Structure 1
Amino acid sequence: MNKLLIAAIALAMGMAPPVSAQSVGERTGLNALVGVSSSTDDFVREAAIGDMFETVSSELAAIRGDVPIRAFAARMNEAHQKSSAELTLLVRRHAGGTTIPPTMDGSRQAMLARLRGLMGDEFNRQYREDQLTAHRDAISLFQRYAESGDNPQLRAWARNLLPVLREHLRMAEALGH
C-alpha cells in the first residue's frame, strides 16, 4: 500500500496527525497491520526504544527474577546493548538526518513502572510476557524494514538481526515451560 492510502485509512479511523517525528502508521500499529515498512526515522526510533526497554527491564530481571529469568535477562542485556551500539554507529555513518531518541516512549516507561512494582512469580510472569510482546513487535518491525526499508545499510542490519530476534523469542517462549 502506498503512504497516501495509509494516511487516508488513519484519517478515516479518526486518528490525529502525528505529534512527534513518528508516523501515524507506526505509532498506531497500522504499518504492522497492513505489512508496510516504517520510514528510516520510525525504524531507528522503534529499534532504539526497543533496545532501551530490553536493557533496562533485563537489568531489573537480573536482580528480581528467578534463576531461569536471570539467565535469560543476562543474554538479553548483552545482546541488546550490542545491537544498540551497532544501531548508533550505523545511524552516525549512514543515516545523517536521523536521530536516536534519548529516552523510551510512554508505553515502554509504563511497562517498566508496572514491572518495578512486582516481585516473585508475578514479576517473572510479567517480565516473560513483556519479552514475548517486545520480541514479536521487534520481529515485525525488523522484517518489514529488511524487506522494503529505504536505507540499504539499515535494511541489511535488520535482515542480519532477524535470526537473533527469533531466537530471543524462542527463548522467551521456553521460559514458560
Structure 2
Amino acid sequence: MNKVTFAAASVLSLALGATNVNAQSVGEKTGVNSVLGVAPSTADFLKEAALSDLTEIATSKLAQERGDADAKTFASQMITDHSKTSEELKALVSGDMKAALPTALDETHQKKVDKLKDAKADSFTSDYASMQVSAHKDAVSLFERYAKGGEDPKLKDWAGKTLPHLQHHLEMAQNLNKKK
C-alpha cells in the first residue's frame, strides 16, 4: 500500500469511528469524506447540519441589517427556511436518536460570522453572497452524501427530502453572487 493510499485509509477509518455528536471525525472535518464521496457518520451529519443552519441564520440576520435589497430578500428566505430545517432536525433527534445538537456556533463557524461582521459596507453584499455560495455547496454535498449512504433511515430520508431545497438555495446564492 503506498503512502497516499495508507493515509487516505487511515483518515477514512478514523472518520468512520466517530460516535459523539460533539466530536467530529477527521474525515469530515478535513473535507476528505467530501472529496471521496463518503457519507458522513450520523454524528457528523447532525453536527454539520445544525451548525450550517446556525451559521445561515446568523449571517442572514447580518445581511438583513447591512445588505442591499436583493441580499435582504435572500436573507429573509434563508432565515425562514433554515429555522424550519433546524426545527425539523430537533424533532428528529428528540425522537429515536436522543442526540445533542450544537446550540451555538463552534470556533470555525463563528469566525465566518465575525468575518462578515467586519466586512466593509461597500463589499458586504458581495462577501455575503460569496459566503452563501460556499456554504450551500458544502450543505448540498453533506446532504447528498448522507441521503445516499447515511446510517439512520429516518435521517437519511429527511436529508433526501431537504436536498432539493438546499440545491435551490445554492442556485439563488449563485444568482445573488452574479449580481454583485
TM-score by length of 2: 0.87
- Which residue of structure 1 lines up, in the alignment, with residue 26 of structure 2? 24
Q: Is the 8 A contact 1:48 1:100 kept in 2?
A: yes
CA displacement at 1:21 relative to structure 2: 1.2
CA displacement at 1:108 relative to structure 2: 1.1
CA distance in structure 2 between the partners assigned to 1:142 and 1:5 by the alignment: 25
2:41 counterpart (39, 50, 54): 39
Gaps of 5+ in 2: 1-5, 14-21
- Which residue of structure 2 lines up, in the alignment, with residue 162 of structure 1? 163
- Which residue of structure 1 lines up, in the alignment, with residue 82 of structure 2? 80
Aligned residues: 166
CA distance in structure 2 between the partners assigned to 1:62 and 1:130 by the alignment: 15
| Partner SS, residue 104 of structure 2 | coil
1:28-84 CA-partner distances (Å, limit 9, x unpaired):
111101010111110000000000000011011001000000000000000000000
CA distance in structure 1 between the partners assigned to 2:30 and 2:65 by the alignment: 33
CA distance in structure 2 between the partners assigned to 1:121 and 1:151 by the alignment: 45
Gaps of 5+ in 1: 12-19
Q: Stretches of 4+ moved more than 2 A in 1? A: 4-7
- Which residue of structure 2 lines up, in the alignment, with residue 58 of structure 1? 60
Matched residues, percent identical? 41
CA RMSD of aligned residues (A): 1.9
Q: Is the 8 A contact 1:64 1:119 kept in 2?
A: no
TM-score by length of 1: 0.88
